[in-house]
Amino acid sequence: MSEHFSTIVIGAGSGGMTVAIGLARLGRKVALIEGHHVGGDCTNVGCVPSKTLIHLAKNFRPGMNPDEILQEVIRKRDALRDKETEEVQHLENLTFIHGMAKFTAPKKLSVTQDGTTRELTADNIVIATGARPRMIVSTMAFHGYLNCVIRSRVRIHKILCPFRICPVRIK
Give tens-digit pLDDT for 74-126. Answer: 888 889 989 999 888 999 999 999 999 999 999 999 999 888 999 999 999 99
pTM higher than 0.85, yes or no? Answer: no
| pLDDT reported for residue 23 | 97
Q: How many CA atoms lie less than 13 Å away from 154 in the CB half-sphere?
A: 11
| pLDDT reported for residue 144 | 53
Q: Collect all residues with Cβ–Cβ distance below 8 Å to 1 and sequence separation of at least 6.
A: 119
The stretch 8-37 carries a mean pLDDT of 94
Select from 96, 81, 72 the least CA-distant residue to 10. 96
The stretch 138-165 carries a mean pLDDT of 49
What residue ranges define each of the domains in the chain, with the CATH number in brackets?
Answer: 3-133 (3.50.50.60)
Q: Does residue 169 or residue 58 have the better pLDDT?
A: 58
| pLDDT reported for residue 160 | 37
61 three-class SS: coil
